[in-house]
Amino acid sequence: MNTQISSFAMSLFLGFLSLAYGLPIFAQAPVAVTTSVNAGLVIDAAGPEQRRSLGAIYLIKCPNVASGSGFLLDTGIIVTNVHVVATCTEQNLVGISTANKPVKFSRIIRDAGRDIALLVPAEKLPGGLKLAVKDTPVPGTSVSTWGYPFLYNGISPLLSVGYVSGYREDTSSGKAVKHIIVNGAFNHGNSGGPLLISHDNEVIGVVVLTFNFYPNEVKQAIDVLMNQKGWGVMSGMVTHPDGSKEQVSEAYLTALVLDEFYQKTQVMIGEAVAGSEVATVIKEHSSDLQK
């Protein structure tokens, strides 16, 4: 973008930096142009157990909308988040294995309240991870996840490591959903990845969100600017993911930059939906999965 941010907007943003309390945001990444996975160097360096878990990791892409991570269970189902699947259907959602093989899906089952999506591959896939019987490790237990943070490194799955900090019930959807709180580097794009006890291939959770230290007022201010896309001084051109171009206002361009800071400032606290919640979704939709 060839534009300048007004001094007022930048001063406003710097003022926001002094405010610090928690606000959850989804760990989701914008879709990159490429759909190629290159995991060769990571797989070569990994040990036998890591290779088993790496083989179950998938890049999940909803073209021009969202992307994130997913993983194959030994039941043949791929698990990810509803916000990763976004608006995609069975016709355009794509999974890509660490062997760089695309996967299409015959069914998508969404549980929006838990932010869990079950993806039924169009063909049977080998391997897969086990869902742990217990998903309440003691605080301090080392955990890890494989995923695609920021679609980094053109594109290779990366390992993030942390430890269990605690637990909470998320009631934002109107139902109580068990979340595992993790102190670790969960970034945008890690959404949908498996939460594993370190050096173990059993799934105790699904990475769902990371935390941002900006207060809600910051997001509200950015949204106000975003809604002024066609108002005021028209000063720049943006190119959308589908290649189309649009002339937009200075306020909107400023909002785009501020939103990048807002979304990607990292705090080392994230959450995962507990594995028992995944088991519940599978049980509730067992008849759909057998079709």
Distance, in Å, from the CA atom of 176 to the CA atom of 38, rounded to the nearest integer, reads 39
Higher pLDDT among residues 217 and 147, named by residue: 147
Q: For residues 222 and 199, state if they share a domain.
A: no
Mean pLDDT, range 212-232, rounded to an integer: 72
Coil, strand, or helix at residue 196? strand
What are 191-211's pLDDT values in tens digits?
999 999 988 889 999 999 766
Residue 1 inside a domain? The answer is no
Q: If residue 133 lies in a helix (H) or strand (E), which one and from where to where?
A: none
Domain assignment of residue 126, yes or no: yes
Are 116 and 244 in a shared domain? Answer: no
Q: What is the pTM of this model?
A: 0.74
- Indicate if 94 and 153 belong to the same structural domain: yes
Same domain, yes or no, for 53 and 125? yes
Q: Are residues 188 and 76 both part of a single domain? A: yes
Tracing tokens 């594109």 back to the chain, one arrives at 155
Over range 65-92, report the average pLDDT. Answer: 95
Instruction: Tell me the sheet residues that pair with 156.
Output: none
* Inside any domain, residue 236: yes
Which SS3 state, helix, strand or coil, does residue 178 take?
Answer: strand
Residues 257 and 201 in one domain: no
Distance CA 277, CA 114 (A): 7
Q: Answer yes or no: do 119 and 236 share one domain.
A: no
CATH of the domain at 91: 2.40.10.120
> Alpha helices of the chain — where are they, by DSSP H?
7-16, 40-45, 48-54, 82-85, 216-226, 250-264, 275-284, 286-289
- Taking residues 255-260, what's their average pLDDT? 74
Q: Is residue 2 a part of any domain in this protein?
A: no
Only one residue has tokens 């995991």, namely: 39
Q: What is the pLDDT of residue 66?
A: 85
Say whether both 48 and 117 belong to one domain.
Answer: yes
Total of domains in the chain: 2
Tell whether 250 is covered by a domain: yes
3-state secondary structure of 151: helix
Start-to-end Cα distance in the chain: 48
Domain range for 256 is 7-23+215-264
